[in-house]
Structure 1
Amino acid sequence: MSSRPLGRPPMFDRDDAVLAAARLFWSRGYSGTTTRALSSALGMSTSSIYAAFGSKAGLFEEAVRTFAERYRTIYAEACAEPELGDVLERLLRRSVEEFTQPRARHPGCLISSAAMTDMPDTIDTRTYVSDLHASNEQLLRERIERARDAGRLRPGVDPSTLAALVQTLWHGLSAQSNQGLDRDRLLEIVDAALGTLLDQEGPGGRPATQPERSRPA
C-alpha cells in the first residue's frame, strides 16, 4: 500500500506550523531553510504551505511577527509601571524570560538571528523588525522623559541616551540567549546592569538596589 502523500493535515494547526517553521528558521536561517525541510517539519506539501502562507517568505514573516510582537507587549506593560526602576527591571527580566522560553513552545529570539539575513525576499520582514525596535525604543524614551519631567531622573541624564543604552543591553541579552547562555546567567547580567541603570534615578526614585529574584513577572 502506497504511503499517503504530504498535504495539509485534516486538523491543520496554524500555530503549531508556525512554531515548527520558526525553529527551522532560527537554526538554519532563511536561506538555509529549504521548502523540502519545511514540508517535512510541518507535515505539509509545498503546495499546501504556499496555499496557507503565500510563500516561504510569507511563512518566515509570520513566524517572525508571531514571536516579535510579544516584545511589543513586554515594552508596553513595563512602561506602564509607576517607577522608572520598575520599568527597567520588568522590561529586562521579562525579555530574558521570553528569550529563554522552553523550546517546546518557543523557537528562540528570531529577530536577532534568522531575521538578520540579507536575502532580498525578507526585506519586508527586516523593515518590520527595524520599525518594531524603533517603536519600542521610542516608547521607552518617552517613559524616561516623563520620569525626568517628574523629577525622577538624575540631573544630566539624557533620556535618549539612557533608552539607547537599555536597547543595546536588550540586544546583547538576546544575542547571548541565542548563543546558549541560560536564563539564570542572563538574569545575573540583568541584575548587575540594573545596579548601574537604577543609579540614574533621581532622589525620588527607587533605591539603586538589586531586585529580588522572587519578584513576580
Structure 2
Amino acid sequence: MTAHNRGRPRAFDRDRAILDAARLFWRRGYSGTSTRALTATLGLSTSSLYAAFGSKAGLFEEAVRTYAERYREIYQQAVAEEDIRTAIERILIDSVHEFTQPDDTHPGCLISSAVMTDSTGTLDTSAYVAELHRSNEQALLRRIERAIQDGDLAAGVSAVVLTGFIQALWHGLSVRSNLDTPREDLIEAAQLAHELICQQLTSTTS
C-alpha cells in the first residue's frame, strides 16, 4: 500500500499569496523586494511563482490591482448617492475603513506606501495609480458639478476647489493610516472634516 499523499505540498492559495506578496511590496517597494524574499514568504519555488504569475512584475501588478481597485468602487458607490453631503461622507469614511482593514485580510494602503516612492521599476504601476486618482477625482468633480446645477449647492461653490480639497483630505488620511494611526482617530478626523465642509456649504447657500 503506497502513501500517495506523502510529501505533497500544501494547496496553493492564490488570494493568500497575493496578500503576502503585497505586504512585502508595500513595505519595501518593487525593487526592494527580491524574488528570493517572495518565494520564501509565499512558500513557492521560483518556477512555481513564475508559473502562477508569469514574473515578479506580474505578481506585483496583480497585487496592486487587487487592492487598489477597491478605491474606485468606493468613489463609484459614493457618487451614486442622492445627497451630495452623503456622497462626500462616504468617500472619506468608507476609504478610512478600507485603509484600516485587518492585517490578515489587507496589506495596508497602497497609495502612500513604499510602492509609490520606488524606482523606475514601478513606472507602469505609477501610471496605473495616477489613472486611478484621475478617474476618482473626475467622478467626484462631476457629482459636485451636478449638485450645483441641481441647486443642492450654491452656484458660488467652486466644484474644482471643493473636489481638490476633498482629495487632499483623502490623501492625508491615507498617509496617516500607513503611520499606524488608529482607525477610530482617522474616523474622527474624517467626520470633523465632513462637518466643516458641510458647514461651509450651508453658510454659502444661506
Q: What's the TM-score once normalised by structure 1's chain length?
A: 0.86
Deviations 1:76-117 (A, max 9, x none): 111011101100111110000000000000000012213213
User: Aligned pair 1:131/2:131, yes or no?
Assistant: yes
User: Aligned pair 1:45/2:54, yes or no?
Assistant: no
- On the 8 A contact 1:155/1:202 being kept in 2, the answer is no
Query: How many residue pairs align between the two structures?
Result: 197
* Partner amino acid, structure 2, of 1:157: V
Q: What's the TM-score once normalised by structure 2's chain length?
A: 0.90
1:161 alignment counterpart: 161
Is there any run of 5+ residues in structure 2 with no aligned partner, and where? 1-7
- Cα displacement (A) at 1:202: 5.3
Higher alpha-carbon deviation: 25-34 or 61-70:
25-34
Structure 1 residues 1-217: aligned runs within 5 Å:
9=9, 11-201=11-201
Is there any run of 5+ residues in structure 1 with no aligned partner, and where? 1-7, 206-217
- Cα displacement (A) at 1:32: 1.8
Q: 2:75 and 2:32 mapped to 1: Cα distance?
A: 31
Query: What stretches of structure 1 move > 4 A for 4+ residues in a row?
Result: none
- On the 8 A contact 1:154/1:200 being kept in 2, the answer is no
- Cα displacement (A) at 1:9: 5.0
Deviations 1:187-209 (A, max 9, x none): 11111101221134358x9xxxx
Q: What SS class does the counterpart of residue 92 from structure 1 fall into? A: helix
Q: CA RMSD in A?
A: 1.7
- Cα displacement (A) at 1:34: 1.3
- Cα displacement (A) at 1:121: 2.2
Higher helix share: 2
